[in-house]
Amino acid sequence: MALFLFNGQRSWKAWRNSKKEKAAHITLRRRLETIEGEARILGVMPDGSSQLQFDFSPPTSANSFVCPANVRPRDDDVGPVEIVIEDEEIDMDLLNFQSISIAQAPASLPFHISPANPTSFSSRLLAYKPHLDDFVLLSFLGQGAYGKVYLVSNNETNEVFAMKCMKKADIVKQNVVNYAHHERSVLIAASHPFIVHLRYAFQTPQKLYLILDYIPGGELFSRLNAENFFLESMAVFYSAEIVCALSHLHTQDIIYRDLKPENLMIHSDGHICLTDFGLAKRLDVNGTQTMCGTLAYLAPEVISKKVPYGKPADWWSLGVLLYEMLSGRIPFDSANRNTLQKKIMNQKLSFPKHITNTAKSILKKLLCRDPSARLGSSGDEQVKTHPFFASIKWGELEKKLITPPFIPDLTGPTDTRHFDLDITSRPLHSPTDEKSSFAESFQDHFKGFSFAR
């Protein structure tokens, strides 16, 4: 199984380096057309873009599902393609709820509404069984092939959340049931200041729902667009918080596998928040060989598939992201997927003139093609003690005692100004809304998704 995110027919450099095009990047990429019907879209991302999955493995059991044989990656020179669904269907399953979910004590947020007695409130939350009609839709935030993301508020508490909805039929059809369960399980295990908090998980006969903290400051991607590239001090701060988040996951043997600026949100207090855990996985002693993630950020060992990979793959992705923060472009770039893979595997690393020697040092060590020699391969302390992070007091950072370089301007808990207006202005209701049928026999795939902590 391989899961990729590709760009349109223009190169990463054209998308990421042209200031004019960067400002319109999110809007343009949603309008790319399907080419020759050879691609299928999977996944839900905050900006509405999608990820492509191709499964060529034969079924291993009667309950296995694979993508159709005609769904395959392009191997020609036209260039890799990203396709995004344009339908405006809104999913409102107000029937036969199989409820309930995890409930966590509310996180501390500037606009958080909570009762005077947190202890009794937490006890009440643990007994709370959410239903879809407990939430009011406020705004549309993102869309993918089998799900959507909304800004919602709770009828009882007025708390604001992001609600991720996933269609069971599409999840089963595309053979990504495990990804849905992995995402929920990882979010439950990952309680950290720089990782999005999962509040509830529940299901209806047609859909799976994740209720998450709403992160109103928008994507780091958008901030990078606005700045073109970050000053080193800004890159140090953001990358240090990312190191903390990855370190927390790695201590639980969880590999993230999709680090990129689109999956990093800026909270109302200016701190980083890692989101979208659809590709995260708990590792066993043998590692994993699934080629998944966003191609430009994939480590060489992930692409080669010669041996199982593990946590060092996340540190490579951090190197790509840090390079992008410091320079405004990715280190390896091509419009063609095969060429991009070859560059990741073989091209010599080069740097813009303004990159400091300290920054070059950490980038070279993070972007080391030998995972056993890569910075972080012996643990996160290797990364934290690099001179690039000499100014960081890690204990204070994790307690959010260091002032962020950027605080988003917000008017209230439902402010969406830091998200793409073309997405948030989409209508919440559609006359094409239809209830999809889903075989009762497939409900067993989702047993255990809904539960109480």
pLDDT at 206: 84
pLDDT tens per residue, range 263-287: 999 999 999 999 989 889 999 888 8
pLDDT at 432: 38
Higher pLDDT, 322 or 435: 322
Least confident of 125-129, 136-140, 211-215, 433-437: 433-437
What distance in Å separates the CA atoms of residue 321 and residue 221, rounded to the nearest whole number?
Answer: 10
Q: Can you spell out the DSSP letters for 118-152?
A: HHHHHHHHHT----GGGEEEEEEEEEETTEEEEEE
Least confident of 21-25, 287-291, 369-373, 412-416: 21-25
The residue among 25, 23, 30, 21 whose CA lies nearest residue 48 is: 30
- β-bridge pairing 254-255 and 281-282: antiparallel
164 annotated to a ligand binding site: yes
pLDDT tens per residue, range 300-332: 999 998 899 999 999 999 999 999 999 999 999
Read off the pLDDT band of 446 (50, 70, 90).
Answer: low
Question: Given a cut of 60, is residue 21 above it in pLDDT?
Answer: no
Read off the pLDDT band of 383 (50, 70, 90).
Answer: very high
pLDDT at 441: 55
Architecture of the domain delimited by 118-216+420-446:
2-Layer Sandwich (3.30)
Read off the pLDDT band of 443 (50, 70, 90).
Answer: low
Distances (CA, A) of 105 to 130, 135, 158, 265, 398: 14, 18, 15, 21, 19
Scan for tokens 């006969």, then name that residue. 205
Read off the pLDDT band of 32 (50, 70, 90).
Answer: very low
Outline where 37-163 has alpha helix (H). Answer: 118-126
Which entry of 134, 170, 213, 258 is annotated as an active-site residue?
258
The question of whether 258 is a catalytic residue gets the answer yes
pLDDT tens per residue, range 213-249: 999 999 999 999 999 999 999 999 999 999 999 999 9
What are the residues whose beta carbons fall under 8 Å from the beta carbon of 152, sequence distance 6 or more? 135, 136, 137, 138, 160, 161, 162, 163, 211
Read off the pLDDT band of 178 (50, 70, 90).
Answer: confident
Put simply, whether the predicted model's pTM sits higher than 0.75 gets the answer no
Distances (CA, A) of 35 to 10, 73, 99: 14, 11, 40
